[in-house]
Amino acid sequence: SQTIHQWPATLVQPVGSPLSLECTVEGTSNPNLYWYRQAAGRGLQLLFYSVGIGQISSEVPQNLSASRPQDRQFILSSKKLLLSDSGFYLCAWARQGNVYGYTFGSGTRLTVV
């Protein structure tokens, strides 16, 4: 069966510090991968998606970047965090062509102080 792992679960980082959140998928190959963010009291915002290794598309310009160094690994990064980067970050995967198959990770709650 397929599983998605996301870590850490919670993170408190000072303003200006770097960020690296990792997401890995097991049990499938060539998945579509997605990063979403949910700010407090807000909806889910799609940040990045990837349809293959090294292929990253950004949905909104921001202080964050994403990379896909391996087929089942998706990394969200920042060089210098802002207060506005605080939120609940969710990674998701789906088989290509199967939107109903979106599976989300357990999320990382990031607080920038």
Q: CB–CB of 37/47 below 8 Å? A: yes
Q: Is 12 in the site for another protein (CB under 8 A)?
A: no
Q: Is 43 in the site for another protein (CB under 8 A)?
A: yes
Q: How far is CA 4 from CA 51, 54, 82, 100, in A?
A: 16, 19, 27, 16
Q: CB–CB of 59/49 below 8 Å? A: yes
Among 16, 102, 111, 113, binds another protein (CB under 8 A): 102
Among 11, 46, 53, 56, binds another protein (CB under 8 A): 46
Which chain residues interact with another protein by CB under 8 A? 32, 34, 36, 43-44, 46, 49, 51, 57, 59, 88, 90, 92, 94, 96-107, 109
